Amino acid sequence: MKLIKTLPIGLFSLCLLLSISVFAQKRDIYELKTYHISSPEQEAMLDSYLEKAFIPAAHRNGVEKVGVFKPISSQEDAGTKVYVFLPFKSIGDWEGFEDKLLKDKTYLSDGDAYINAAFDHPPFDRIETAVMRGMSEHPHFAESKLTNAKKDRVYELRSYEGPTERLYRQKVKMFNSGEMDIFENLNCSPVFYAETIAGPRMPNLMYMTTHENMDIRNEHWDQFRVDPAWLGMRDLEEYKNTVSRNDTRLLYPAEYSDF
């Protein structure tokens, strides 16, 4: 009888622990939009829309921080792309976001020039979108810790494609098993680490680190290459041949970007 009376309390405790565990393991969902542009006029129209309409509307509709980035001047695609990064708490929040925007009268009014642009005067040439999920050991977006002038910063966006799905998963394991810790220890101020669940280049993972300027960025990589933890991981058999393509983008944040 005593066991029967205490069983509900035990079940309650178990359910509570499971709920806490599930919540703790919940991973953010990220959307990364890449706007391709071909003229200063398009860039100006897009900047105005993002700053005055889209970002304020995103804040009103549950997205606390929006990142807007452009290639630094030394990059071959400088002036031709604008990256917009959105962190969501769940896939449901991401799915419902656009519907919220289309019901937001202030957004529709403030963004009228962009939303109702003529077919022969579009604000962009095309948009690429990637949807990602935070990695298990870095499940949530983290705003950059940098405090220096935005124009001087270097935000490094990397995409690692795997030759097969199995080898891609091994690279994800490598990040979760210590590679991302090295960036943290080197003060690279990571914004996110994520597995791409829908996008133009798969299978792949993406991540973003931040640096005060290009010299410090280069210094961080010099330190990374000789870091004992990295040297201990890179030649392990299980992590060999896990990356078939490394796509690196060096970016700076727009002045109106939230981080």
Give, for all 259 residues of the chain, the pLDDT tens digit.
444 444 454 444 434 433 433 444 599 999 999 999 999 999 999 999 999 999 999 999 999 999 999 999 999 999 999 999 999 999 999 999 999 999 999 999 999 999 999 999 999 999 999 999 999 999 999 999 899 999 999 999 999 999 999 999 999 999 999 999 999 999 999 999 999 999 999 999 999 999 999 999 999 999 999 999 999 999 999 999 999 999 999 999 999 999 9
Query: pLDDT tens digits for 72-85?
Result: 999 999 999 999 99
CATH number at residue 70: 3.30.70.100
Q: Three-state SS for 230?
A: helix
Indicate whether 11 belongs to any domain.
no
Indicate whether 169 belongs to any domain.
yes
Indicate whether 227 belongs to any domain.
yes
CB burial of 216-228 (b: ≥16 within 10 Å; e: otherwise) equals bbeebeeebeebe
Q: Which helix (H) or strand (E) holds 150?
A: none
Per the structure, the complete domain to which residue 201 belongs is given by: 27-253
Query: pLDDT tens digits for 38-57?
Result: 999 999 999 999 999 999 99
Indicate whether 22 belongs to any domain.
no
- How many structural domains comprise the chain? 1
Look up the pTM and report it: 0.89
Q: Cβ contacts of residue 163 below 8 Å, gap of 6+?
A: 241, 242, 244
Indicate whether 258 belongs to any domain.
no
Give Cα 92 to chain centroid, integer Å. 17
On whether the CB atoms of residues 246 and 159 are closer than 8 A, the answer is yes
Indicate whether 13 belongs to any domain.
no
